[in-house]
């Protein structure tokens, strides 16, 4: 079994300040973890993924996330928010091994960036 | 490379009517997935095709939902008859293999049942 908890449904930051979107997971298997972003009227776009290599993962648009097994967390960060970062973000977990993948989504965090 | 496309982008129907949603995956992707997000809740898995075969349909809510993938290419999701609680955004995704590959998502179809 697996689950994902996104701790904040809404986050508001000022442009140029750091972004932190929190995600905790539970999984009976070694997990792969992903962050997706959805801009209005667009499909979900992959930001970054952790599959078993380096625990600090860098993604697109300056985002990164750190896999912390001891804390069962995979928080998403960005040093400086840009107006274009305003969107909804989803943390996703899936079993790493085995031939079949079944993803579990978090409930999403809406990021607001204030000019 | 064309992404995953879905049609229509929006659909408004009355309770009891039938609606068919279509998904065209990325060419060459054997795996196709349907998901649904209801009223701002989490996105939930509906089913998974490998080519034309249903690998897992454990997320399908009831027998009013019928998914097909003819010839292993595009897929349709039919809701018949539609109920109010079927309203939501239906996402389709595709991936190359069955491993920790990222799934490529379409923009979704927003279904409103009135």
Mean pLDDT, rounded, for A47-51: 90
CA distance B5 to A114: 32
Whole-angstrom Cα Rg for chain A: 14
**CA-based end-to-end distance of chain B:** 37
Give per-residue burial for B10-49: e unless 16+ CB within 10 Å, then b. ebebeeeeebebbbbbbeebbbbbbbbbbeeebbbbbbbb
- Helix, strand or coil, per DSSP, at residue B58: coil
Interface contact A102-B99, CB threshold 8 A: no
Using an 8 Å CB-CB cutoff, list chain A residues near B9: 41
Summarised one tens digit per residue, pLDDT across range B31-85 is 999 999 997 788 999 999 999 999 999 999 999 999 999 888 999 999 999 999 9
Pick among A5, A36, A43, A96 to test the B interface (most B CBs inside 10 A) = A43
Q: Does residue A53 carry a pLDDT above 80?
A: no
pLDDT, position A99: 54
Do the strands A64-68 and A19-21 form a parallel or antiparallel pair, or are they unpaired?
Answer: unpaired
pLDDT digits (tens, 9 = 90+) for A54-107: 899 999 999 999 999 999 999 999 999 999 999 999 999 987 765 556 788 999
Longest CA pairwise span in chain B (Å): 40
Neighbours of B85 (CB within 10 A): 11
**CB contacts, 8 Å: A49 with chain B:** 100, 102
**Cα R_g (chain B), whole angstroms:** 13
Query: Which has the higher per-residue pLDDT, B20 or B71?
Result: B20
Question: What's the average model confidence in pLDDT over B2-18?
Answer: 95
A45 touches B: beta carbon within 8 Å: yes
The per-residue DSSP string of chain A comes to -EEEEES-SEEEEETTS-EEE-EEEEESSPEEEEEEEE-TTS-EEEEEEESSS-SEEE-GGG-EEEEETTTTEEEEEESS--GGG-EEEEEEEEESSSS----EE---EEEEEE-
């Amino acid at each position: 079994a697996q689950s994902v908890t996104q701790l904040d449904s809404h986050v508001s930051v000022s442009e140029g300040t750091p972004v932190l979107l929190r995600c905790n997971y539970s999984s009976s298997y070694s997990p792969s973890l992903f962050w997706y972003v959805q801009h209005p009227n667009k499909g979900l776009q992959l930001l970054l993924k952790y599959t078993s290599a380096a625990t600090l993962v860098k993604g697109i648009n300056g985002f990164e996330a750190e896999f912390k097994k001891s804390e069962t967390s995979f928080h998403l960060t960005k040093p400086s928010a840009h107006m274009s970062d305003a969107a909804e973000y989803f943390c996703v977990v899936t079993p790493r091994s085995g031939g079949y993948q079944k993803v579990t989504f978090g409930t999403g965090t809406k990021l607001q960036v204030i000019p | 490379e064309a992404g995953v496309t879905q049609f229509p982008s929006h659909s408004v129907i009355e309770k009891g009517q039938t609606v068919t949603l279509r998904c065209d995956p990325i060419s060459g992707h054997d795996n196709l997935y349907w998901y649904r997000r209801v009223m701002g809740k989490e996105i939930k898995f509906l089913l998974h095709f490998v080519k034309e075969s249903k690998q897992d349909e454990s997320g399908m809510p009831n027998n009013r939902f019928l998914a097909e993938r003819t010839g292993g290419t595009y897929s349709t999701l039919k809701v018949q008859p539609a109920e109010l609680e079927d309203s939501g955004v239906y996402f389709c995704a595709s991936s190359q293999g069955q491993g920790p590959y990222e799934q490529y998502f379409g923009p979704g179809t927003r279904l409103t049942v009135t």
